[in-house]
A and B are shown apart, each in its own frame.
Chain A
Amino acid sequence: MRHPESKDEQPLNYALRFTERARRDIDAETVYIAETSSPEIAIVWREGLYDTVASLAILPRRCPLAREQFRCEVRQILYRRPGSRFAHRILFTFSGEEAVSSDAPTVILLHVRHSASRPLTKLQARAIESQT
């Protein structure tokens, strides 16, 4: 495996891809927010999520490993719409990093889900904002 984030090299620019499952998660959450809050808030949530995803193009391994056990490397970034007390976990993996691979290094979004049933504290919200 290459070491795309070693100190001596420029950080790689990862391509970003979404699985069908991640798309469905995002659609379902958009509909839920539109119905329970407003379409305008759903739009802000979704576009903020794309900005957070876009930030994964550079140094995605700054994000921690997900706490569950998976059959491959799965990391997560937390995303919170400004003003919201709830966060979502964006879970992702990697492809195209092997030395023999002809594909570009890619971050692949796997799953988007609520991070917890409990609202965030102000401290937690600030910590999420400082990640991106």
Chain B
Amino acid sequence: MTLTLDLPEELAFRLNALLPEEERKHFALSAIAEALSAQEKDAVACIAGVEEALQDIEAGRTFSLEEEKARWQHQKAELLTKSGVIER
């Protein structure tokens, strides 16, 4: 497969400045492989997070926005106290 890319001018300038022409193909392949790998890992982690949340729903572990905001008010007070914004 051949891939042709239009690079923004600034990126093309940096590429020309930093990388000899004979190394560019190897560099591009490594960069694409690394980016795909990162994307796959992110997708796996995202799916696992959502799956866990779906199990929460099935088990009835959900909370209303009002409950969540009330919980936050307690946490916020603690956060401000710990940080010294509010004196103990």
Contacts and interface: CB of A to CB of B under 8 A. Distances in A.
B24 interface: no
A125 interface: no
B85 A17 contact: no
Contacts of A15: 64
Given A34-B83, A50-B72, A21 B56 contact: yes
A68 B85 contact: no
Contacts, number: 93
Question: Could you tell me the dominant secondary structure of chain A's interface residues?
Answer: mixed
B58 to A, nearest CB: 10
Interface stretch (B10-18, B25-33, B40-48): B40-48
Contacts of B65: 16-18, 50, 53-54
Interface size class of A (residues with CB under 8 A): 35 or more
Interface of B: 38, 43, 45-47, 49-50, 52-54, 56-57, 61-65, 68-69, 71-72, 75-76, 79-80, 82-83, 85
Given A15-B64, A20-B62, A91-B49, 14 more contacts: A16-B64, A17-B63, A17-B65, A18-B65, A19-B56, A21-B49, A23-B68, A30-B79, A34-B83, A39-B85, A43-B80, A50-B72, A110-B54, A113-B46
